[in-house]
Chain A
Amino acid sequence: MTLDTVKHAESTPDTEQPYRELGLKDDEYQRIRDILGRRPTDAELAMYSVMWSEHCSYKSSKVHLGYFGKTTTEEMRSKMLAGIGENAGVVDIGDGWAVTFKAESHNHPSYVEPYQGAATGVGGIVRDIMAMGARPLAVMDALRFGAADAPDTRRVLPGVVAGVGGYGNCLGLPNIGGEVVFDPTYIGNPLVNALCVGAMRVEDLHLAHASGTGNKVILFGARTGLDGIGGVSVLASDTFSGDETGPGRKKLPSVQVGDPFTEKVLIECCLELFQKRIVVGIQDLGGAGLSCATSELAAAGDGGMHVVLDSVPLRAKGMTPAEILSSESQERMCAVVRPSDVDAFMAVCAKWDVTATEIGEVTDTERLVITWHGEVVVDVPPRTVAHQGPVYHRPIERPADQDDLQVPASLPRPQASELRDLVVRMAGSHNLASRRWVTDQYDRYVRGGTVLAQPSDSGMIRIDEETGRGVALSLDSNGRYCKLDPYEGAKLALAEAYRNVAVSGATPVAVTNCMNFGSPEDPGVMWQFEQAVRGLADGCVELGIPVTGGNVSFYNQTGTTAILPTPVVGVLGVIDDVRRRIPTGIGAEAGETLILLGDTRDEFGGSEWAHVVHGSLSGLPPKADLAREKLLAEILRSGSRDGMVSAAHDLSEGGLAQALVEACLIGQTGARVFLDPDQDAFVQLFSESAGRVMVAVPRTEELRFTDMCSARGLPWRKLGVVDPDAGALEIQDIGTFTLDELRTAWESTLPALFD
């Protein structure tokens, strides 16, 4: 077998290379040849092909994502310590604390192998947070599956849930929230978006830079194996068709396998390294493995890098340079360390039994040079690999059927006498039913800082045990709204996540996203994407908070059927003292008054009611009013600060009826509610108008609170009272529901489907 060295490549310019099988287009391959002035070696081809893939290079989305940067003002940026382009966004939350958070998709692997796909999705995002120098503190997950009763959902959902739980639980990170949504469009393309949040002292922020000529590059964590090398196996079979391609090798899964124990130890090891201040730069190894880590570290630093690939500790025999560079083996990190600190670095790794190996050093050559048995197999300008991938201006076209879709179907509405049954039916419907079957498989308590977790509107963790300073987080998206109007739908996702954070009493400060769409080669999908990016960015400007990072997942499509456009939006909020958090359930204090904040309009486009009762998707989604959301958040913050609000729950899918059911069940307390006689009861109960929150206010604070709302122009209406003795929810003229009846309806749906 001939090693394809740079020398060899120079002398064999006409060798046919399998670049198409590796996903490169003719012109992209030619560009690589132009950059290098020769044909790439196998190892170089492996690096470029994986780094220039859609997943790593954002080649279809880049031109649109620039809109986030363009619309972010200096004022919005003022609390941002790191933003788009770094491993994760970092925000200054006060008292010397910096918080970093990011969400990432692991969709396709989770369809192929649900448990490992989901598990390694969690593992990957946690390493992104570590790479910023932070201690990971909590995870969340936004999940989408096909119809709840579809046979394949029974395969995918339990595996994904067990994977998210199995990895996160063993890692010791509380899972504090997320979403589970069913829609037939996700049947062959489930979505697994994992979010991690971490914290550090502001001065401890680490950016992924390889600075300082002579500094050592150390690979630490798990050994490198053959898992996740996916497409690069083409190179092995075409070019090195020796005995390495025996039957044992071919059976390796293309989805990586996670080892949460190794990651837990790696976290503690990294934190000790950070604390001892012996790390100059650090980068996690995720998608594209060493190709990504070495090229990104070198490109972000001030020079080049020389890597001796033979020194990489391997798990499999006979791996080729291309395979080692492309392996996506999990639980690995790469650090840049001053030569004088190498011994100290190794000692910390030894304490934690973490394998650590010096694999190279930073140079001033502006080249990334990789050698194998003394021969040069890679010699490239690192920026061309990491940052100068192709950029596409994909065709964009509003789908021809969009206008038809936006014409509301005429859906028969229930009679007054049918509303009681509808409340119960909706509470137990697939998308509104309790998520306990899922969330009870996640540890929400570990680390002892969880203040709010599912089924609360947002998750909240304490960061500082002395002062009580903490953060709240919510992940939201409604694909049906986005399908009807992706611009407005993205704004609505932002509005809901923002509101969910606000109802906890926290102040929303920053946004991340995970954009899940169909094929970028479909102009209609690109239109959805462009609209969603603009909606989200424009919404952020209106709210005055920045997007600090994000992730794009394209090709979530089976044949010509794309998933519902699903821009999952994460909002981070800050609370100066978690002891004043507002719970979701009512009944914390005796004698509370229920008040509905905001306006209810006749808005049923994309609603859960239309979906459940009529299986219909048409019309326009509810109107997003971000000025109203901002006002709501300010009122809630004042209410929390001055002890005027004892519970709050956002109104979203399923409307007021669902919010009432949940607030009663979570608080295990009954209530008596009176609808407005001048407005249609069905609209009041099931409309999904945005910008609404139900609050419980101690009777002594009622007047002060409503006066504040009136003075600031926030519409409010007294809904009723909390009734701890009733053991039931009574909606006047509609019906009385015992908590047992509601609990059975709400909690038995998922166990019946998945146990």
Chain B
Amino acid sequence: MTARVGVITFPGTLDDQDAARAVKYAGGEAVSLWHADADLRGVDAVIVPGGFSYGDYLRCGAIARFAPVMGPVIEAAAKGMPILGICNGFQILCEAGLLPGALVRNSAMHFVCRDQWLKVDNTSTAWTTRYDQGAEILIPLKSGEGGYVAEKPALDELEGEGRVVFRYAGGNPNGSLNDIAGITDARGRIVGLMPHPEHAIDALTGPSDDGLGMFFSVLDALVAA
């Protein structure tokens, strides 16, 4: 049976169909989830995609974390369901307390869209088993508030437990502490990252197909489970 991966759409979500396409490219079934429905429709994993949920007028992700759909997401997360937050989705997972830290305005003070090299630092999460430790992958980054910050104890914990999943390579594009591009929770089931793996699934429309590994990884994890 094909694994069912939910993709949430909030008002202002932009990369939802791209995330769904990536799931399909990897061989999974993408299931559309609506922000106003407290219902995960029986999915096996959830992707919180990028965009500007509710316009991000208050603080990125600050309103989305209160959406009805987030209740069941938080419950499922506690039970170990694989969850991926991309860009605005990462911000939402941080706001919801599922991942530590926060994302702040880029150090250059403007939006940056570029093809970004990342080093894979943790290959044991539900979303990264298909990568080799230390591999460098090319993934689009596109955000205005992508600078990762956390209090020192939280940062030390992340580093000490090897929970930094991706680091920027070849230059830090946004001022993130320790070049952090993506992190995971203590169990390695929830991953959040600023760059967009769903835009690197086909060299025709992206800089590479390096991002596909994340979607293959989660399908592996679900089939194994």
Binding site for B on A (CB under 8 A): 158, 162, 165-166, 169-172, 259-262, 264-265, 352-353, 439-451, 462, 578-579, 755
Partner pick for B111 among A165, A260, A265, A448, CB 8 A cutoff:
A165
Given contacts A440-B112, A440-B114, A462-B205, is CB(A448)–CB(B17) below 8 Å? yes
| B134-151, CB < 8 A from A | 140, 142, 144
Cβ of B113 under 8 Å from chain A: yes
Chain A residues closer than 8 Å to B51, beta-carbon distance: 172
Cβ of B110 under 8 Å from chain A: yes
Interface of A is mostly: mixed
B55 and A170 form a contact (CB under 8 A) = yes
Given contacts A440-B113, A448-B199, 20 further A-B contacts (CB under 8 A): A162-B110, A166-B111, A169-B111, A169-B142, A170-B14, A170-B55, A172-B15, A261-B11, A261-B55, A264-B12, A352-B11, A353-B11, A441-B113, A442-B113, A445-B113, A445-B140, A448-B21, A449-B205, A462-B204, A462-B205
Contact present for B113 and A443 (CB under 8 Å): yes
- A-chain residues with CB within 8 Å of residue B140 when the two chains form the complex: 445
List 12 A–B pairs whose Cβ atoms lie within 8 Å, in order of A's numbering. Answer: A169-B142, A260-B52, A264-B14, A441-B112, A442-B111, A444-B113, A445-B113, A445-B196, A445-B199, A447-B14, A578-B204, A579-B204
Contact status of A261 and B204, CB under 8 A, knowing A445-B199, A448-B199: no
How many angstroms between the C-alpha atoms of A440 and B15 in the bound complex? 18
Q: Give the contacting residue for B206; candidates A166, A261, A265, A445; CB below 8 A.
A: A445
Which residues of B (30-88) have their CB < 8 Å from a CB of A? Answer: 51-52, 54-57
Q: Is the CB of A446 within 8 A of B111?
A: no
B198 within 8 A of A: yes
B185 at the interface (CB under 8 A from A): no
Closest A-chain residue to B173, C-beta based? A440
Distance between Cα atoms of A279 and B21 in the complex (Å): 30
B18 interfacial contact with A, CB 8 Å: yes
CB distance A443 to B205 under 8 Å? Answer: no
CA of A265 to CA of B9, assembled, Å: 11
Query: Total contacts A to B, CB within 8 angstroms?
Result: 84
B55 pairs with A259, CB closer than 8 A: yes
Report B-chain residues with C-beta under 8 Å of the C-beta of A261.
11-12, 52, 54-57
Point out the residues of chain A lying under 8 angstroms from B108, CB to CB: 755
Q: Which chain A residue has the least Cβ–Cβ distance from B9?
A: A268
The one of A162, A170, A439, A578 that contacts B52, using a Cβ cutoff of 8 Å: A170
Query: Which one of B11, B57, B113 has the greatest number of beta carbons of chain A within 10 Å?
Result: B113
Contacting residues, chain B, for A162 (C-beta < 8 A): 110-111
Contacts of A158 in B (CB 8 A): 110
- CA–CA, A440 and B204, complex, Å: 19
The distance in angstroms between the C-alpha atoms of A147 and B206, with both chains bound, is 35
User: Which residues from 180 to 225 on chain B have a C-beta closer than 8 Å to any C-beta of chain A?
Assistant: 196, 198-199, 204-206
Verify A447–B110 contact, CB threshold 8 A.
no
Indicate the member of B21, B110, B140 with the most A CB atoms within 10 Å: B110
| CA of A208 to CA of B70, assembled, Å | 40
Q: CA separation between A448 and B113, bound complex, in Å?
A: 14
Chain A residues in 8 Å Cβ range of B144? 169
B35 to chain A, nearest CB (A): 10
- Interfacial chain B residues near A439, Cβ < 8 Å: 113
Least CB distance, B86 to chain A, in whole angstroms: 12
The interface residues of chain A lying within 8 Å CB-to-CB of B111 are 162, 165-166, 169, 441-443
Please name all residues of chain A whose beta carbon is closer than 8 Å to the beta carbon of B17 when the two chains form the complex. 447-448
Query: How many Å lie between the Cα of A437 and that of B63 in the bound state?
Result: 32
Closest chain B residue, CB of each to CB of A751: B108
- Complex Cα spacing A593 to B12, Å: 47
Q: Which residue of A is nearest B34, CB measured? A: A351
Residue of B nearest to A264 (CB): B12
A139 shortest CB reach to chain B, Å: 14
Chain B contacts for A353, CB-based, 8 A: 11
By beta carbon, the residue of chain A nearest B142 is A443
Separation of A450 and B202 alpha carbons in the complex (Å): 11
Chain B residues whose CB sits within 8 angstroms of the CB of A462 once the complex forms: 204-205
A519 to B37 alpha-carbon distance, docked (Å): 56
**Contact present for B112 and A446 (CB under 8 Å):** no
- A446 to B14, Cβ gap below 8 A? yes
- Residues of A contacting B11 in the complex (Cβ-Cβ under 8 angstroms): 261, 264-265, 352-353
Contact with A447, one of B12, B18, B57, B113 (Cβ below 8 angstroms)? B18
- What's the nearest-Cβ distance from chain B to residue A738, in Å? 19
Task: Tell me which residues from 11 to 26 in chain B have a Cβ below 8 Å from any Cβ of chain A.
Answer: 11-12, 14-15, 17-18, 21
Instruction: Determine the chain A residues whose CB is within 8 A of the CB of B21 once the complex forms.
Output: 448
A173→B199 CA distance, assembly (Å): 14
For the complex, give the distance between the alpha carbons of A213 and B113 in Å.
50
**Smallest beta-carbon distance A438→chain B, Å:** 10
CA distance A169 to B15 in the complex (A): 11
Q: Whose C-beta in chain B lies nearest to the C-beta of A446?
A: B14
B13 nearest CB neighbor, chain A only: A172
Could you tell me the distance between the alpha carbons of A439 and B198 in the complex, rounded to whole angstroms? 21
Q: Which residues from chain B contact A260 at a C-beta distance below 8 Å?
A: 52, 55
Residues of A within 8 A of B198 (CB): 448
Q: What's the minimum C-beta distance from A19 to chain B, rounded to whole angstroms?
A: 40
CA of A260 to CA of B54, assembled, Å = 10
Q: Which residue of A lies closest to B50 (CB)?
A: A446
| Cα–Cα, bound, A440→B56 (Å) | 21
Q: Which A residues are CB-close (under 8 A) to B55?
A: 170, 259-262
Q: Kindly list chain A residues whose C-beta atoms are within 8 Å of the C-beta of B204.
A: 451, 462, 578-579
Query: B52 touching A448 by the CB < 8 A rule?
Result: no
What A residues does B110 contact at CB under 8 A? 158, 162, 165, 441
CB-CB under 8 A from A265, the residues of chain B are: 11-12
C-alpha spacing A355/B204, complex, angstroms = 39
- In the complex, A440 Cα to B206 Cα: how many Å? 15
* B113 smallest CB distance to A (angstroms): 5
A204, chain B: closest CB distance, angstroms:
19
Cα–Cα distance between A166 and B56 once the two chains are bound (Å) = 12
Residues in B whose Cβ lies below 8 Å from that of A440:
112-114
CA–CA, A440 to B106, complex, Å? 13
Which of chain A's residues has its CB closest to B36's CB?
A351
B193 to chain A, nearest CB (A): 15
Chain B residue at minimal CB-CB distance from A170: B52
Cβ–Cβ contact A448 & B205, under 8 A: yes
Chain B residues whose CB sits within 8 angstroms of the CB of A166 once the complex forms: 111
Q: Which 6 A-B pairs have the closest CB atoms?
A: A261-B55, A172-B14, A448-B18, A445-B199, A170-B52, A443-B142
- In the complex, what residues of A have CB within 8 A of residue B206's CB? 445, 448
Most chain A CB atoms below 10 A, which of B11, B21, B206: B11
Q: Take A440-B114, A445-B142 as given contacts and tell me if A450 and B14 are in contact as well, using a CB distance cutoff of 8 Å.
A: no
> How far does the Cβ of A118 sit from chain B's closest Cβ, in whole Å?
14
Closest to B14 in A: A172
* Chain A residue with the shortest CB-CB distance to B52: A170
**Complex Cα spacing A262 to B108, Å:** 27
Bound CA span A449–B21, Å? 11
A199 CB to closest chain B CB, in angstroms? 15
Report how far A170 CA is from B52 CA in the complex, Å.
Answer: 6
Which B residue sits closest to A449, measured CB to CB? B205
Closest chain B residue, CB of each to CB of A754: B110
What's the nearest-Cβ distance from chain A to residue B111, in Å? 5
Identity of the chain B residue whose Cβ is nearest the Cβ of A351 in the assembled complex: B36
A647 to B52, CA, bound (A): 36
Q: Which residues of chain B come closer than 8 Å to A450, judged between CB atoms?
A: 205
Q: How far apart sit A451 and B207, CA to CA, in the bound complex (Å)?
A: 10
Given A170-B55, A261-B57: A446 in contact with B15 (beta carbons within 8 A): yes
Q: Enumerate chain A residues within 8 angstroms of B54, measured Cβ to Cβ.
A: 261
Nearest CB in chain A to that of B22: its residue? A448
Complexed CA–CA distance, A259 and B52 (Å)? 12
Please indicate the chain B residues that have their CB under 8 angstroms from the CB of A172 in the complex: 14-15, 51
**Closest CB in chain A relative to B45 CB, distance in Å:** 20
Q: How far is the CB of B112 from chain A (nearest CB, A)?
A: 6
Q: Which residues of A contact B113 (CB under 8 A)?
A: 169, 439-445
Distance in Å from the Cβ of A224 to the closest Cβ of chain B?
Answer: 19
Q: Which residue of A lies closest to B112 (CB)?
A: A440
